[in-house]
């Protein structure tokens, strides 16, 4: 079928079959469809929607447009975890070595910063010598050596997604749930983990700010995985405030080490344990919370992280000093009145950190030492003048500091948000 006929059909709100969706993806992978034609498809799909089967067919075609490693054929218990992104989210850095230390193999392909969120790859690359370039063979070697592998997707994985992803931004179709699902899964399923847990964020610092939108995305991700034959579930988790106490590249490496040593903040530790239990259950290894806690207490989790860093070319002896690095200008953010911390403009905090240097913009390199340390939590009583957070900048900037301070709201009372709001699963 010609592009014109497919576009006319979807514009009219009619359902596309598998062959028609494969034609779209083939056109995105090669030169068969022009950018205007692909943009028209994205707009029609965003407005008229894709049902469950259409989403499955689009996802599968995008997945099959590139390399598939099928690692489950050689590592049947292999698990993966994906987060929809947030501010201070370093869960992947902790969960992977923790589970690997307990005998649960984990593979992850990570990404770079997007919008207000920090990129796992960017954080890890602050470790001297660490090489995140992996292919199937290197991935298998790392899994054999350390029980975990983390890398950046190669250009051969889901090439159709790169073209469609770029067009989604300029066609205002970024928030289409079927298009989000196909984009995430076409890369996530390419490694071939048999079980995947999704950490779907909700709140001010999440891409899905409203809980009902987060639940809808979680349902579609889990449903599509199961249609394709992969075990999956999702936790709906809070991103109405930064996760943990540290935001920023070297600061988050420091907090990762602290958490692996049992010194991490309560919310971050609890979320890591919850997601680890969920992935272990799905993958069939059955690691209980007591086993996870024991791996932290014994030092095995931290030792596994060091082992993995060295296996991927990094220097584990640098981690302690690296985690203490901060930009030199410390500016405390204090409570303007007594009351309760009621709200945090988390998305704005992430954008401000990027503006201060924590994101690569306009050819500017990332300043890995720009950071925010977050002390108070929503629902916590505070007194006027109490320190809510500290921002570490490369140079003193009163105007930027005032914008950081305006992100914190104190009111008479407020209820702390639920860290894990819901679990989404189709079949156990």
197 vs 276: CA distance, rounded Å: 9
Catalytic residue from among 10, 116, 163, 187: 187
133 secondary structure, DSSP code: B
285 as an active site residue: the answer is no
Of 321, 306, 315, give the one whose Cα is nearest residue 254: 321
Catalytic residue from among 161, 199, 238, 367: 161
Catalytic residue from among 10, 22, 82, 201: 82
426 as an active site residue: the answer is no
Helix (H) or strand (E) holding 198: strand 195-202
- DSSP letters along 284-315, please? T----HHHHHHHHHTTHHHHHHHHHHHHTT--
16 secondary structure, DSSP code: P
Question: Are 176 and 45 contacting, i.e. CB atoms less than 8 angstroms apart?
Answer: yes
Angle, in degrees to the nearest 10, between helices 249-260 and 300-311: 140
Catalytic residue from among 22, 163, 168, 201: 168
Strand-strand pairing, 195-202 and 79-83:
parallel
169 as an active site residue: the answer is no
355 secondary structure, DSSP code: I
Dig out the tokens for 409 from the structure: 């709201």
Catalytic residue from among 65, 176, 183, 280: 183
166 vs 158: CA distance, rounded Å: 13
249 as an active site residue: the answer is no
User: Active-site residue numbers?
Assistant: 82, 161, 168, 183, 187
């Amino acid at each position: 079928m010609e592009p014109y006929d497919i576009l006319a059909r979807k514009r009219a709100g009619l359902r596309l079959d598998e062959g028609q969706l494969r034609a779209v993806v083939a056109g995105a992978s090669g030169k068969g469809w022009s950018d205007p034609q692909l943009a028209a498809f994205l707009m029609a799909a965003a407005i008229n929607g894709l049902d469950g089967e259409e989403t499955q067919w689009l996802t599968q075609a995008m997945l099959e447009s590139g390399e598939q490693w099928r690692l489950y054929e050689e590592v049947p218990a292999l698990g993966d975890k994906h987060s929809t992104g947030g501010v201070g989210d370093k869960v992947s850095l902790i969960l992977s070595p923790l589970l690997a230390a307990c005998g649960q193999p984990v593979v992850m392909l990570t990404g770079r910063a997007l919008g207000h969120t920090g990129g796992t790859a960017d954080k890890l690359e602050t470790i001297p010598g660490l090489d995140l370039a992996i292919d199937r063979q290197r991935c298998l070697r790392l899994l054999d050596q350390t029980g975990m592998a983390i890398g950046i997707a190669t250009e051969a994985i889901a090439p159709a997604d790169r073209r469609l992803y770029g067009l989604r931004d300029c066609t205002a179709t970024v928030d289409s749930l079927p298009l989000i699902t196909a984009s995430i899964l076409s890369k996530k399923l390419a490694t071939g983990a048999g079980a995947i847990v999704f950490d779907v964020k909700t709140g001010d610092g999440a891409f899905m700010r409203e809980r009902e939108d987060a639940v809808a995305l979680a349902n579609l991700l889990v449903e599509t995985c199961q249609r394709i034959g992969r075990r999956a579930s999702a936790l709906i988790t809070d991103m109405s405030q930064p996760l943990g106490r540290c935001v920023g590249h070297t600061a988050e490496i420091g907090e990762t080490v602290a958490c692996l040593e049992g010194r991490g903040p309560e919310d971050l530790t609890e979320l890591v344990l919850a997601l680890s239990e969920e992935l272990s259950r799905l993958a069939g290894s059955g690691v209980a919370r007591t086993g996870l806690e024991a791996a932290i207490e014994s030092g095995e989790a931290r030792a596994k992280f060091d082992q993995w860093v060295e296996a991927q070319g990094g220097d584990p002896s640098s981690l302690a000093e690296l985690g203490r690095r901060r930009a030199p200008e410390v500016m405390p953010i204090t409570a303007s009145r007594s009351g309760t911390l009621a709200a945090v403009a988390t998305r704005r905090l992430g954008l401000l950190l990027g503006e201060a240097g924590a994101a690569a913009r306009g050819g500017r390199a990332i300043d890995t030492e720009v950071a925010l340390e977050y002390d108070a939590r929503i629902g916590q009583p505070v007194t006027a003048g109490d320190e809510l957070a500290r921002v570490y900048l490369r140079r003193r900037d009163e105007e930027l500091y005032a914008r950081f301070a305006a992100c914190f709201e104190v009111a008479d009372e407020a209820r702390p948000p639920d860290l894990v709001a819901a679990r989404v699963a189709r079949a156990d």
